[in-house]
């Protein structure tokens, strides 16, 4: 079986930051492998180590900068990577679910995997929707928010747990080919070993433009238009204690005593 | 084509709260589009569900009696058939785990423009959705174009619909293929065990700011010194540092203590879902822009490794 993992490089905003127009200024952004995708990569690599998977391929829609993140996934055990980018994508300020679906679909059709793993959500734009949308586009089965996966190679069925709200899990059997969106906690993502990092240097990251994927500009035309970005208003009148650690702790202790929860 | 179709949600025989919230969101939106509000309920005891869903402002309720519990193949087919029949401008569904298991598929298959996790909706010639990014550190407005849209709405952002409506209730025959590629075989409760943090009066809750498992000892010392109950955000449980029954949030426990002291917790929406009902929320965080301060009553912008030892001192000294 071949497993494809979608891997996003996400931006994290620094403690203090500024918004320029409809973007957080680049100076305040730090990039990293999306937390949920880290778990998806680990799950795929474990499927390979345990037998059912022969190959693990990652796919990323992202500029050249994202190769650093892709190397991380390769160092953790993915065999090779595909990176989709195009000049036409430079000016898109919000890659919406439909656009991502179109781009990823072309790669999936080229790679022809049996199983696609995505993260439940991207830490930055947090649509939480790309995996299920992609499954529909491909005509694959799917399962969202999977926090346990037991693959039955003979039956070609994934026995999964879907994590619902409030400590309830749904047990579901899903036929292949399928897209599963992976939830944190499903496994323990490994750290890349030095050996892994060295090996990753010689693994392939295949660049793909719209043209390479047989797509035209229509594939990235979005109906979503980001019109403003701002810091949310506070819902509470928070009282911030001023002073050094000792002083602030003193005031906090006072509040705890006042509320009668500690003596 | 200015109507709104809102799809509700239930589990194990009960409508979930968000079902009534999606009605409110739908009613407000329909008032702006000048259309009608249609509400759908799929599976389970549709008759009694329809009764409870008949709230003020609902124009029509469509029941699809297929299956007991949620199955995304059934939901997707039912909603797609209803959409074809009603031709609404906007489709609203909960941004719940199950909502996200079918709404993106429906949107893709019907070619609806999709915006998820909306915290506000506005309609003026077209739909504008407010949603957050970067772990709630910024808010954005997005104009959602296209002829028809699908929006998933965040839980607890709209009040529950009230009153009694006079909606017309009708059974909709969606002609569903029940030979589905995924089969729900059961449910499992997780997070049980000896402690029940939902009973606690004073909770000290720790998040990823603690960095290392060994550092939890510091928090345990604080818990001992103040006689508090220890809880945490999700990453601490994902890492296996604390058992599942200590996790506060959407997929963990809902707690309502007198005081909730959040240490090194950013205040992600799924965490907040489990603790916003606390009487007093106090946060210790190095990031002055952490969203937890937006809902906190008291706060310390500071390093937990400096503040917590001082706090322990206050109760031991
Ligand atoms: C479907 C779904 C369900 C989920 N369910 C839950 C749930 O039930 N519960 C839950 O908690 N999450 C849940 N999450 C995850 C949630 O989205 C967040 O990822 C998680 O809550 C973040 O935890 P955190 O605040 O501890 O970590 P982070 O977001 O990483 O925040 C760490 C905070 O610590 C601060 N910090 C760092 N160092 C220090 C220091 N030295 N002193 C003081 N502060 C410091 C940082 O400024 C930061 O604000 C769910 C997500 C999804 C998609
Ligand atoms: N630019 C991208 N490149 C590769 N995968 C992506 C990209 N954006 C989203 N994904 C995948 O889709 C999942 C859900 O993302 P989202 O729907 O944007 O929250 C992520 O966890 C990734 O696995």
User: What are the structural domain ranges in chain B?
Assistant: 2-171, 197-316
Are the beta carbons of B226 and A168 separated by less than 8 Å? no
Q: Kindly provide the ipTM of the predicted complex, given to two decimals.
A: 0.97
Q: Which of the four pLDDT bands, split at 50, 70 and 90, describes residue A235?
A: confident
Q: Which of the four pLDDT bands, split at 50, 70 and 90, describes residue A62?
A: very high
Q: From ligand 1's centre to the CA of B265, what distance in Å? A: 5
Cα–Cα distance for residue pair B310/B317, rounded to 1 Å: 10
| Minimal-distance CA residue of chain B relative to A136 | B105
CATH class of B2-171: alpha beta
Q: Which of residues 11-40 of A touch B (CB under 8 A)?
A: 11-13, 15-17, 19, 22, 24
Q: From ligand 2's centre to the CA of B114, what distance in Å? A: 15
CATH class of B197-316: alpha beta
- Considering only the beta carbons, identify the residue of B114, B294, B310 that sits closest to A249: B310
pLDDT of residue B317: 64
Are the beta carbons of A143 and B182 separated by less than 8 Å? yes
Please list every residue in chain B whose beta carbon sits closer than 8 Å to the beta carbon of residue A129.
100, 103-104, 107, 114, 116, 152
For residue A138, give the H/E element and its range. Answer: helix A130-138
Mean of pLDDT values over A94-100: 96
Are the beta carbons of B234 and A124 separated by less than 8 Å? no
pLDDT of residue B153: 98
Q: Which of the four pLDDT bands, split at 50, 70 and 90, describes residue A236?
A: confident
For B141, counting Cβ atoms within 10 Å of its Cβ (0-12 exposed, 13-18 middle, 19+ buried), the class is middle
Are the beta carbons of A128 and B117 separated by less than 8 Å? yes
For chain A, give the mean pLDDT: 97
Q: Which of the four pLDDT bands, split at 50, 70 and 90, describes residue A91?
A: confident
pLDDT of residue A234: 82
- Considering only the beta carbons, identify the residue of A125, A127, A236 that sits closest to B295: A236
The CB of B253 under 6 Å from ligand 1? The reply is: no
| Minimal-distance CA residue of chain B relative to A243 | B300
Note the pTM of the prediction, 2 decimals: 0.98
Q: Is B121 left (phi over 0), alpha (psi -120 to 50) or beta?
A: beta
Domains B2-171 and B197-316 share a fold: yes
Q: Per-residue pLDDT tens for A168-189?
A: 999 999 999 999 999 999 999 9
Are the beta carbons of B132 and A235 separated by less than 8 Å? no
For A19, counting Cβ atoms within 10 Å of its Cβ (0-12 exposed, 13-18 middle, 19+ buried), the class is middle
């Amino acid at each position: 079986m071949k497993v494809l993992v979608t891997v996003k490089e996400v931006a994290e905003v620094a403690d203090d930051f500024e918004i320029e127009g409809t973007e957080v200024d680049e100076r305040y952004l730090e990039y990293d492998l999306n937390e949920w995708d880290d778990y998806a990569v680990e799950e795929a690599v474990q499927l390979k180590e345990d037998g059912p998977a022969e190959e693990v391929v990652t796919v990323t829609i992202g500029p050249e900068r994202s190769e650093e993140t892709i190397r991380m996934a390769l160092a953790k055990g993915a065999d090779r990577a595909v990176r989709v980018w195009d000049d036409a994508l430079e000016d898109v300020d919000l890659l919406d679910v439909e656009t991502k679906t179109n781009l990823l679909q072309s790669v999936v059709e080229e790679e022809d995997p049996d199983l696609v793993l995505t993260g439940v959500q991207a830490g930055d734009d947090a649509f939480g929707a790309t995996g299920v949308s992609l499954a529909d586009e491909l005509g694959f089965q799917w399962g969202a928010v999977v926090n346990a996966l037991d693959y039955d190679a003979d039956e070609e069925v994934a026995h999964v747990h879907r994590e619902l709200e409030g400590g309830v899990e749904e047990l579901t059997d899903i036929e292949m080919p399928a897209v599963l969106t992976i939830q944190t906690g499903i496994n323990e993502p490994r750290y890349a070993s030095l050996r892994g990092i060295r090996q990753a240097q010689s693994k392939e990251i295949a660049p793909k433009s719209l043209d390479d994927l047989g797509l035209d500009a229509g594939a990235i035309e979005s109906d979503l238009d980001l019109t403003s970005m701002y810091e949310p208003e506070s819902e509470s009148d928070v009282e911030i204690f001023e002073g050094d650690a000792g002083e602030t702790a003193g005031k906090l202790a006072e509040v705890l005593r006042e509320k009668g929860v500690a003596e | 084509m200015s109507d709104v179709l809102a799809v509700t949600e239930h589990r194990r025989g009960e409508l979930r709260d968000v079902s009534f919230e999606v009605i409110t969101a739908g009613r407000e939106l329909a008032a702006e589009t000048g259309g009608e509000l249609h509400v759908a309920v799929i599976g389970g005891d549709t008759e009694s569900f329809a009764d409870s869903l008949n709230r003020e402002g609902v124009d029509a309720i469509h029941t699809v009696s297929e299956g007991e519990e949620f199955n995304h193949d059934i939901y997707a087919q039912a909603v797609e058939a209803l959409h074809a029949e009603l031709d609404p401008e906007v489709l609203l569904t909960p941004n719940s785990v199950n909502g996200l298991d079918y709404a993106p598929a429906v949107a893709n298959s019907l070619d609806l423009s999709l915006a998820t996790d909306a915290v506000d909706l506005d309609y003026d010639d077209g739909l504008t959705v407010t949603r957050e990014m970067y772990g709630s550190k910024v808010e954005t407005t997005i104009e959602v174009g296209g002829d028809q849209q699908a929006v998933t709405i965040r839980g607890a952002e709209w009040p529950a619909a009230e009153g009694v409506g006079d909606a017309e209730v009708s059974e909709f025959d969606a002609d569903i293929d029940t030979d589905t590629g995924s089969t729900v075989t059961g449910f499992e409760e997780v997070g049980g065990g000896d402690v029940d943090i939902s009973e606690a009066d004073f909770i000290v809750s720790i998040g990823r700011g603690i960095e290392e498992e060994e550092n939890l000892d510091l928090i345990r010392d604080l818990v001992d010194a103040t006689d508090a109950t220890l809880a945490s955000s999700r990453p601490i449980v994902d890492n296996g540092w604390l058992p599942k029954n200590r996790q506060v949030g959407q997929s963990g426990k809902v707690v309502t203590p007198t005081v909730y002291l959040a240490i090194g917790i950013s205040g992600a929406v799924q965490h907040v879902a489990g603790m916003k009902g606390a009487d007093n929320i106090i946060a210790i965080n190095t990031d002055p822009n952490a969203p937890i301060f937006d809902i906190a009553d008291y706060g310390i912008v500071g390093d937990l490794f400096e503040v917590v030892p001082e706090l322990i001192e206050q109760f031991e000294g």
